[in-house]
Structure 1
C-alpha cells in the first residue's frame, strides 16, 4: 500500500520483535487506542523499529501498513537520548533535573524529524490525515505542511508543556513553536498545558490566540487557524476490568498479600524509575511515619515497583543508586523477621501481575512531581472492581484534573504527604466505596477509545473547515453586486450557520474557518458584521467569545436584545408580570418533561426553549404536546417558533426580520447580506430587499437567493465577500 487516509507518526512502531524473529504487538495505551481506527481505515504507522542500524522494508501487520524509519546508533544517542530525553524531557518537567543544551543534539533532532516527516509525506493519500505523537517529533507538523499542504495534520503532546518562564530557556524555542503550529489540531493533556503553549506563542511569535484557535500566518500571505486544546488521554478500562474479574488474578492478589505477611494495609507505588515520579518524596514520608511510630511495619508494607528506564543516562543512574540506598536504610532500620518495610522491585511486570498488585494494594501512591497524565492512577481505579482502595494522587499529575475523588497531595509538602498517607490508611470502607465508585465511573466513561475519537473528531472538523467550495456563476455575480454597495451589513445566524449544532448548546463555537472569514469581513472597508440569534444575549456573547472591545453587533432573543460596539448592551423594557409568568411556565415545562429522556428546557430572557435533539421521535412529539398544552392554558398570546429540534416560546413578538431592520437603521447600511440555516431565519430572508442578498446554509426549502451546503462553504463565501470589498478600495 502506498497511500493511506490516516497516518500515525510516532517515535516507535506499534510492534516489537518476538523471540522467533517475527513481530508482535507492543504493549501500551497508544497502540491500544489507535488499533481499531487503524484497522478500520487501513492506515499506516511510521516509526522507529526500536534497534539502531536496523533497515526494515515497509510491511503489513494485522491490517496496518508499517513504515520503519532507520536510526543509526549515533542518532539514537544524539536525537533520542540527547535532545529528546536530556533536553526536552527535563525542561518540560519543570526542570526537576537540569536540561542540557547541545547544538549537535539539536542538529540530530532536526535531521531525524525531517526523516519521519518525509516518510509520512510519502505514504499519506492526497487530502489524507496525519497524526503525529509526542515530544520527540515536534518539528514534524511544520515539515509535513510545507511538503504536503493538502494534508490535515494533528499533533498530540503526551508530556507536560512548561510555563513560558521555563520554555523560554530553550535556545530553539521559536523553531519548536513553529514546528508544532504546522498542525491543524495540537492536543495536550491538561487545559493548563494548552494555555502555556498559547502564551508561548503570543510571547515569542506575536500570533493572535483565542480559545477558538491560533491565527497562523502562512508564507503565501494567507492565515490558517490551529486549534490548541486539552484532550486528556485515558486507558482501555474494559480490559482492566476483565482482568480484575478473573479468578486466577484474584487468587494471585491474595497470594501477594500472604507473601508480604498479610499486613493490615499495603501501600503501592508503580512507576518508571524517573526523577519526575516523586519516588524519593514518598519514601521520605513513609520512612518518617515509621520513625515517628504513626505506622508500624507489623501493620503496613510499601511495595515499590520501579521499572528500568534510560539506564544509559547519568541522571537515571544516580537516581537508582539514591533510591536503592534509601530503601536499604528503611529496611535495615524497620524490618522484622516476619515483615518487610519496603518491598522494592526494579523490574517490569506483565499486565496480569500488575492488576493482581492493584487488587492487593489498599492505597495507591501517585506522588509525581510533574506528569502529563499518569495512567497508573487510572489503571488502579479501573482494576478495583470491588469498589475499595484509596488513590492518593499528586495535584501535579494530569490525572488530578479528572479524578476529583482521589486524595490530592502536594508531594513537595512532606508533612502534608504524611498526613494524606495516614488519612488513606485509616479511611473507612464506606468512604472508600463512595470515592472509588465516582473514580471508576469517570475512568470507564472516558476511556482511551473516547480519547482517540475526540481527537480524530476535532481533526475531522479541521479537515471540513479547510474544504474548498465553488459557487455557481449566478451566485458569484450576486456577490460581486453586493460587494459594490456603499456600506454593507453582513448579518449572520450562529448555530448551524457559523457553528456546528451541539447536543450541549453552550458547547457551540465557530468553526475556525468561519471565525477567520468573520475577522476578514471586520477588516474590510465599510463593512459591518452582526450576529442574529434566538439565543439570549448573554449566551450568545459566551458562545461567540464576544468581548467588550468587539466590533461585532449582536441581536439576541430574535432581536429583542441588542449589543452595539462602543455602547454595550441595550436593555429592553421588561414587565415584572411577564417575567413571573415566564418563570412559572418554565418550571411547569421542566416538571412535565423531567422523565422524558433526551429532553431539556433552556431558559431564555423572554421565554424558554424545549430541546429534543437527543430524544427519539415519539418522545420529542410527547414533549412538544405537553408543553404546548401548558403554554396554551396560561399564555395563548405567546409566540411559538420551531427550529432544529427545538420549540421556543416567548412573550415578545420580535423576529429576525425586525432585528435585521433595526441593525440596518443603526449601522446606516446600504445593503444587507443575511445568512442562516433554520426555519426562524426565513423571517429575515423574506424581509430582504432587491439590493440585498440572502444565503441559506443546508438543504431545506428557503427564500434565499443563494444556497451553500455547509458551514465551510459559507465561510468560503464570506471570505470571498471580504476579498471583493477589500479589492474595490485598492
Structure 2
C-alpha cells in the first residue's frame, strides 16, 4: 500500500523564525487536531502552507524543509499578497460566508480574488504531483482547495484522489449565487470520492450538480468525464481516547479542583469558540440575557465562561463583530451582575489544552450553539473529556454534530426564548437523566472517533470504482474457456445464489418469485447428465419450497441454516441454538420499521432481516445507519452477527453462512464445483471452496472470485452455455 498524501491549506504545525532558528510547534484548529492521530499513525505526508515566514534564501528553505520532513510535512510557500487574496479574499471572503448561508457577508468585489484562488490551487496541485509516487492516495481537505482535485487529475491522471468538505455545502438556491459555481463543482469532481459530514450536505451538492451540470447522481455515485465519482457521508470524529486520557491527568485534575473551588456552589456554563460570525456568539449572549431575565432565582448562582479564541483580528469586519460582542457582554453583565458575581466571564484569548480540558471537566453545561457549522468538534471534545459521565451538552440543531449527538439538548440558536429554556432544563436536569444522555453520547463519540473516520474514508477511497469494476468483467474468451471446462466435467455441482445472481433484486421479498424462464433453465441444468444444481438464498425455507419445490434441485434457505439436499426430502437445520435472542433484538427492529414507512421485516428461524427497498431512499439510508449502530451494540456479547446487504440489514446466528453448505454436500474427489453469487454473504461460500473449485461474482463490488459477470442476465446466459 502506498502513502497517504494529506493536502490542506495549513500544515498541522506552525513555523516561526526566531533569532536565526526555526521553531516548529503543533497547530491548533479542528482539522489539525482531528487528523493528528491518523497522520501520526500511518505512512503519510502532509502538504500545506507553513504560515507567514520572512523571505528565505535557498539554503534556509532547504534547512526548513529538512526540519519539516521530520514531521512528515512538505510546505507550499505563499506570499503575503497571495494569502490576502486567495485565503482572506476569496476563500474566507466569499466561500466561507456563502457556504454558511450568510450571503450578506459575501464580498461584492470577489472577482478581484478569484484569479489568485485559482493560481494558488494550481500551486498546491503541482506540489502534490511533485511528491506523488505510484500507489499513493491523495486526500484533499476543505473549501480553500476546491480546484485541486481536477488540477491534480490533469497532472497525475491515475491518482486516487479524495476530497472532504469540512464546512456545510449550502442548498442549491444559495450555491447558485456564486459566479464561479461551475468551476467549483468541476474542481471537486476531479476526485474519486467526495466526502461530507452529513447527508443534507451531500444532498445539496447532488442537487447543485443536477441543476448546474446536468449530472444526476444515482444513489451515492455519478459518472462525470468518463469516470465514476462517489459521494459519501463521513461524520468526522476526534481522538476521543486522547482527550479522555488528558482529562484524567494529574495536571488537569488539579486545575479542575481549582476551578470548582473558586466557583463554590455556583453552576458553571461553558462556551469555547473561535471569533467568527458563524459561531452564534451574539445570539448566545442574548439567550443568556433572556434566561437571567426569566429566571431571577438563578442570578448569582451561575457563571458562564465564554472563551473566544482570537481570529482574523486585522480584518475590519471582524473588528466590528468583536466590538458588538463586547458591548453585548457588557450590557448583560451590567444588568445582572451582583456585588460578588458577574454572570459572564468573557475571555478573549487562547487557552492551553490542559486548561481547555479542565474547563470541559468542570462545566455543568456546555453551550455549542453556532448559527451553522460543518461539524463542530468542540461538542465531541466535551463529551470525551467527561470521565465522570456527567454534564449536559446544549447543541445547535444547525451544527453537523447534531445529526449524531441526538442525546444533546438541541436548540435553534436564533430563538433566544427556546435557547433560554434549554439552558434552564440543562441546569435542572436530574442526575440520572444527565448520566444516561452522556453515556449514549460517549458510546457514539468513542466508537466513531477520528481514527475510524479516517480509516473509513481511506478504505472507501481505495475501493475500485464501479467503472473500473466494469472493466474487470471477465473477457468473453476466458468465460468460454471456463464453460468448456465445466461442460467436460464428469460430475458437476452448481451452487447458485438467488437474489442478485439468478434474478434482479425486487422491491419486496414477496415480489421476487422466479420467472418461468429461470425455472426452465434450472430444470434443464438439473437434467443434464452428471450435474446437480443447488440454489441458496437468505429466504425462508417455506418460500424456497413454494418457489422451487417442484424442481429437481438442492435447496438451502436462510444462508445455509436449512438445507433440503434432495427433491422431496426433509429440511434439516445446520445447528440448533437457543433463539431467545429474538425477544431482545426483534423489538428494536420493529421500532425502526414503524418509523420507516415502506420497510419490511422478515423473521426466519435463525435470522431477522429488515428491508427498506420501498422506503424513501434518504430516510431508509438514515434508518439503516441508525439500526446498524443499534444492532451492533445490542448484539455485542451474543452469538450473533450483523450483516448488511442491498437495501437490507440482517441479524443472524454467528457461524451460519453459505460456506457451511459445502460440509453437507461433502467434498468428494472427482467433483467439479462452481459457486455463483453477488454479495458479501457469497464471499463465505467462495472462501470455503476446495482447491479446484470455481467462484463467479455477479455485478459490482469487491470480490475474491476469479471470474466476474455483469448482472443476472449475464449469469443466466453463462449457465445456459453449459447446456452445450
TM-score normalised by length of structure 1: 0.70
Q: Which residue of 2 aligns with 1:201?
A: 209
Q: CA deviation at 1:347?
A: 0.6
Q: Which residue of 1 aligns with 2:8?
A: 10
Q: Which residue of 1 aligns with 2:99?
A: 92
Partner residue of 1:234 out of 225, 234, 237: 237
Q: CA deviation at 1:438?
A: 1.3
Q: Which residue of 1 aligns with 2:22?
A: 21
Partner residue of 1:141 out of 149, 157, 169: 149
Q: Which residue of 2 aligns with 1:349?
A: 351
Does structure 2 conserve the Cα–Cα contact (< 8 Å) formed by 1:492 and 1:532?
A: no
Q: Which residue of 1 aligns with 2:617?
A: none
1:402-413 mapped onto 2 (5 Å cutoff) = 402-413=404-415
Counterpart Cα distance in 1 of 2:326 and 2:707: 61
Superposed CA offset, 1:307-351 (max 9, x none) = 111123332111100000011111122222211121100011111
Q: Which residue of 1 aligns with 2:528?
A: none
The range that moved more, 312-321 or 287-296, is 287-296
Partner residue of 1:591 out of 579, 597, 601: 579
Partner residue of 1:191 out of 199, 222, 230: 199
Distance of aligned partners of 1:703 and 1:383 in 2 relative to their CA distance in 1, 3 Å threshold:
closer
Q: Which residue of 1 aligns with 2:136?
A: 128
SS of equivalent to 1:454:
helix
- Match status 1:361 vs 2:370: no
Does structure 1 conserve the Cα–Cα contact (< 8 Å) formed by 2:397 and 2:410?
A: yes
Distance of aligned partners of 1:366 and 1:647 in 2 relative to their CA distance in 1, 3 Å threshold:
farther
Q: Which residue of 1 aligns with 2:325?
A: 323
Superposed CA offset, 1:447-476 (max 9, x none) = 111111111111121479748759689517
Q: Which residue of 2 aligns with 1:246?
A: 249
Superposed CA offset, 1:249-287 (max 9, x none) = 22212322344x424211111111111111111111211
Q: Which residue of 2 aligns with 1:72?
A: 79
Q: Which residue of 1 aligns with 2:111?
A: 103
Distance of aligned partners of 1:587 and 1:109 in 2 relative to their CA distance in 1, 3 Å threshold:
same
The range that moved more, 99-108 or 291-300, is 291-300
SS of equivalent to 2:508:
helix
Does structure 1 conserve the Cα–Cα contact (< 8 Å) formed by 2:495 and 2:535?
A: no
Q: Which residue of 1 aligns with 2:273?
A: 271
Counterpart Cα distance in 1 of 2:328 and 2:26: 37
Superposed CA offset, 1:499-521 (max 9, x none) = xxxxxxxxxxxxxxxxxxxxxxx
Q: Which residue of 2 aligns with 1:290?
A: 292
SS of equivalent to 1:126:
coil
Q: CA deviation at 1:176?
A: 0.6
Counterpart Cα distance in 1 of 2:47 and 2:656: 50
Distance of aligned partners of 1:50 and 1:82 in 2 relative to their CA distance in 1, 3 Å threshold:
same
Partner residue of 2:121 out of 113, 122, 131: 113
- Match status 1:281 vs 2:251: no
SS of equivalent to 1:67:
strand
Gap runs ≥5 in structure 2: 485-493, 513-521, 523-533, 540-545, 550-556, 563-572, 590-599, 610-630, 642-654, 664-673, 718-724
Superposed CA offset, 1:380-407 (max 9, x none) = 1111111111111111111111111111
- Match status 1:225 vs 2:228: yes
Counterpart Cα distance in 1 of 2:137 and 2:337: 57
SS of equivalent to 2:3:
strand
Q: Which residue of 2 aligns with 1:519?
A: none
TM-score normalised by length of structure 2: 0.70
Q: CA deviation at 1:156?
A: 0.8
Q: Which residue of 2 aligns with 1:515?
A: none
Distance of aligned partners of 1:27 and 1:196 in 2 relative to their CA distance in 1, 3 Å threshold:
same
Distance of aligned partners of 1:494 and 1:9 in 2 relative to their CA distance in 1, 3 Å threshold:
farther
Counterpart Cα distance in 1 of 2:83 and 2:388: 44
Q: Which residue of 2 aligns with 1:182?
A: 190
Counterpart Cα distance in 1 of 2:656 and 2:247: 50
1:47-58 mapped onto 2 (5 Å cutoff) = 47-51=48-52, 56-57=61-62, 58=65
SS of equivalent to 1:209:
coil
Gap runs ≥5 in structure 1: 482-490, 498-529, 543-554, 562-570, 625-640, 650-672, 686-695, 726-730
The range that moved more, 709-718 or 387-396, is 709-718
- Count of residues in Structure 1 that have an aligned counterpart in Structure 2: 592
- Match status 1:457 vs 2:459: yes
Does structure 2 conserve the Cα–Cα contact (< 8 Å) formed by 1:369 and 1:412?
A: yes
Superposed CA offset, 1:223-260 (max 9, x none) = 2221111101111111111122123322212322344x
Distance of aligned partners of 1:39 and 1:266 in 2 relative to their CA distance in 1, 3 Å threshold:
closer
Distance of aligned partners of 1:225 and 1:330 in 2 relative to their CA distance in 1, 3 Å threshold:
same
Superposed CA offset, 1:572-620 (max 9, x none) = 699xxx99xx9xx9998562677999xx999858865599xx99xxx99
Distance of aligned partners of 1:338 and 1:38 in 2 relative to their CA distance in 1, 3 Å threshold:
closer
Distance of aligned partners of 1:605 and 1:420 in 2 relative to their CA distance in 1, 3 Å threshold:
closer
Distance of aligned partners of 1:110 and 1:608 in 2 relative to their CA distance in 1, 3 Å threshold:
same
- Match status 1:538 vs 2:487: no
Counterpart Cα distance in 2 of 1:238 and 1:215: 39
Does structure 2 conserve the Cα–Cα contact (< 8 Å) formed by 1:53 and 1:70?
A: no
Q: CA deviation at 1:703?
A: 6.5
Counterpart Cα distance in 1 of 2:505 and 2:660: 12
Distance of aligned partners of 1:717 and 1:122 in 2 relative to their CA distance in 1, 3 Å threshold:
farther
The root-mean-square deviation of aligned C-alpha atoms, in Å, is 5.0
Distance of aligned partners of 1:178 and 1:52 in 2 relative to their CA distance in 1, 3 Å threshold:
farther
1:554-703 mapped onto 2 (5 Å cutoff) = 558=536, 589=577, 591=579, 643-644=657-658, 676=677, 701=691
Does structure 2 conserve the Cα–Cα contact (< 8 Å) formed by 1:644 and 1:678?
A: no
SS of equivalent to 2:433:
helix
SS of equivalent to 2:579:
helix
Counterpart Cα distance in 1 of 2:70 and 2:495: 46
Q: CA deviation at 1:42?
A: 3.7
Partner residue of 1:401 out of 400, 403, 417: 403
